[in-house]
Structure 1
Amino acid sequence: EKWASVILAPLLHETYLLGTHTMTIHDEVEHVQVIGHSLALGSNSAVSGPVKVVHFVRHGQGFHNVAGAKAGLHGVACGCIGNDSSQCPYTAKEIEDADLTEQGMAEARLIRETLRERTIERVMVSPLTRTLRTATVGLLPEIGPVPFLAVEEIREDMGVHLCNRRTPLSKLQVKFPHVDFSMIPGEEDTEFAMDRKETMSEMTARCRKFLTWLRDRPEQEVVVVCHAAILWVMFTTAIEIADPELCSEFRTAEVRSLVLTFPQGSCSHE
């Protein structure tokens, strides 16, 4: 099966994209120079194929982030795998499917200003509480009727860490009635295991599945609200990108706006 190549370049406010990147998806590599591609999309012929403007957003500060900081942990790595997970702050019952702190709520509200002038067609959000809350606080007051869709493939790494175990679906539907949960597989989080952490290759497969699905969607400009680890995997393993700044860990509530171009003729055919 032949997979699409994905071309990314950073948005420079309301101007143009300039840069040369080498990137790969699904073991295919393509070198492309992105020159003067307007945010209006379609006004410049330098890049061919389906084009998406994607605003990737990490959730605001959650209670699990505070617990991790108190324990001296930083970033997406945790040393509990293969050791004594009972000493890991992310396994504490009180931060299961962690919500946002007051600081996290304030961070989420700042997202409104970042994306206020954009023409968003859909918000795609991880089905964990902190991402749903971030999307709701940060975007719902601004974009109103734009649909919110919960997407399983962009949730945080699964297993061991209770902060990443999803709340039962019926409870989420009550808390976030504006979100379409039709793509979430069931009431309980059956994919989550207390004794096994999701592997990097499994997370990469999820990212690739999401990108392929996104390629075939009708929307041209979307927001994707998810998590530090899955974003890091998305940017470093599902897509190879030359600019190291784009591959660094997201800060809480950080927005990185990218243009994804799926070259014509590279889509798979069955």
Structure 2
Amino acid sequence: MNTTAAQFPYPWQRCKIIHLVRHGQAMHNVEGDKNREALLSPHLFDAQLSPLGLQQVAKLRNDVHASGLLRRIELVVTSPLYRTMQTAIGVFGSESHEDGGNENFSVISALNCPQIMAVELCRDRLMDGEHDNMWNPDVREPEEEVAARMVQFMKWLWTRPEQEIVIVSHGIILQHILNVLGNDCHPTVRSNLCKRFGNCELRSVVIVDKSLIGADSQLCSPRDVAKENVLRKEVSS
């Protein structure tokens, strides 16, 4: 690695570590593997996790605990759909709900786990309900509107005081978030970061607020790093 070209110092106060997690396999994923049109079914828009999805959640929970990551996380932001809330609470919630099956989501503010906050801006492209102004029964939200919503979401995220945050959402939403953040990355890094998410995959980045030097908030690193390494920016290896 060319260290002269790859390292840039930034104040820790202007950085955030973001852990992006796609929900575990849900029943709409199961049906979608059989028939892609099933993904547009209004009966599956708020699908629950499948039995395999619950196993994926339990495995990720074990990994998060074993790595010590849970102790560092200050906030978990989740899409308000059932499958993402099951995943968020199953992985990052209290010990009594490690299977992700907590029906009333009573552990959202439980002790000994980070705050879990449902945020509409990071939900999936399709929502049911006559009062949802983003929902259309026949057409999914256009890609450009999703991208614009992710810009708005990231602006909101920067207003949060927490510096190490988890986002539990949907594959397409997480890819759009990385697209928003990765404009200044080396093309090979950007390509790797923005690839399709697997169910219950966790992908970590460091982002830097460069607004005081004439640039938008941007991606700093594709790696899960500790706070003492946050000032390093690796664009190649």
* TM-score normalized by the length of structure 1: 0.63
Deviation (angstroms), 1:126: 0.3
State the partner residue of 1:125.
78
CA distances 1:112-155 after superposition (whole Å, capped 9, x unpaired): 23322121111100011100000111110368342111111111
Whole-Å Cα distance in 2 between the matches of residues 234 and 220 of structure 1? 17
* Greater helix share, structure number: 2
Instruction: Judge conservation of contact 1:207–1:238 (CA < 8 Å) in 2.
Output: no
Deviation (angstroms), 1:225: 0.1
CA distances 1:12-39 after superposition (whole Å, capped 9, x unpaired): xxxxxx889xxxxxxxxxxx8346xxxx
Whole-Å Cα distance in 2 between the matches of residues 251 and 131 of structure 1? 14
Q: What secondary structure is seen at the aligned counterpart in 2 of 1:225? A: strand
Tell me if 1:67 matches 2:31: yes
Runs of 4+ aligned residues of structure 1 deviating over 6 Å after TM superposition are none
Q: What secondary structure is seen at the aligned counterpart in 2 of 1:212? A: helix
Instruction: Judge conservation of contact 1:50–1:264 (CA < 8 Å) in 2.
Output: no
- Residue identity opposite 2:162 in structure 1: E
Gaps of 5+ in 2: 96-110, 217-237
Deviation (angstroms), 1:102: 0.7
Tell me if 1:97 matches 2:38: no
Whole-Å Cα distance in 2 between the matches of residues 252 and 64 of structure 1? 12
* Greater strand share, structure number: 1
State the partner residue of 2:55.
106
- Shift in CA distance, 64/190, structure 1 to aligned 2, threshold 3 Å: same
Aligned residues: 190
Residues 37-56 of structure 1 correspond to what in structure 2 (within 5 A)?
Answer: 46-48=9-11, 50-56=14-20
Whole-Å Cα distance in 2 between the matches of residues 19 and 127 of structure 1? 43
Instruction: Judge conservation of contact 2:81–2:123 (CA < 8 Å) in 1.
Output: yes
CA distances 1:87-112 after superposition (whole Å, capped 9, x unpaired): x1123344231110010011111222
- Residue identity opposite 1:261 in structure 2: V
State the partner residue of 1:149.
117
Between 1:112-121 and 1:138-147, the stretch displaced more is 138-147
Instruction: Judge conservation of contact 2:92–2:114 (CA < 8 Å) in 1.
Output: no
State the partner residue of 1:138.
91
Q: Pick the aligned partner of 1:251 from 198, 202, 222.
A: 198
Q: % of aligned pairs identical?
A: 32
CA distances 1:156-188 after superposition (whole Å, capped 9, x unpaired): 113xxxxxx25x8xxxxxxxxxxxxxxxxxx95
- Shift in CA distance, 157/50, structure 1 to aligned 2, threshold 3 Å: same
Whole-Å Cα distance in 1 between the matches of residues 43 and 146 of structure 2? 26
Residues 1-270 of structure 1 correspond to what in structure 2 (within 5 A)?
Answer: 33-34=6-7, 46-48=9-11, 50-71=14-35, 73=36, 88-116=37-65, 117-118=68-69, 119-141=72-94, 144-158=112-126, 165=127, 189-237=132-180, 239-240=182-183, 241=185, 242=187, 243=189, 244-263=191-210, 265=212, 266=214
Whole-Å Cα distance in 2 between the matches of residues 219 and 63 of structure 1? 33
- Residue identity opposite 2:6 in structure 1: Q
Whole-Å Cα distance in 1 between the matches of residues 123 and 42 of structure 2? 19
CA distances 1:211-263 after superposition (whole Å, capped 9, x unpaired): 11112210010110000111122223563243121110000000001111112
Instruction: Judge conservation of contact 1:204–1:238 (CA < 8 Å) in 2.
Output: no
Whole-Å Cα distance in 1 between the matches of residues 7 and 160 of structure 2? 22
Gaps of 5+ in 1: 1-17, 21-31, 36-45, 74-87, 159-164, 169-186
Instruction: Judge conservation of contact 1:97–1:129 (CA < 8 Å) in 2.
Output: yes
Whole-Å Cα distance in 1 between the matches of residues 113 and 42 of structure 2? 35
RMSD: 2.6
Whole-Å Cα distance in 2 between the matches of residues 257 and 251 of structure 1? 14
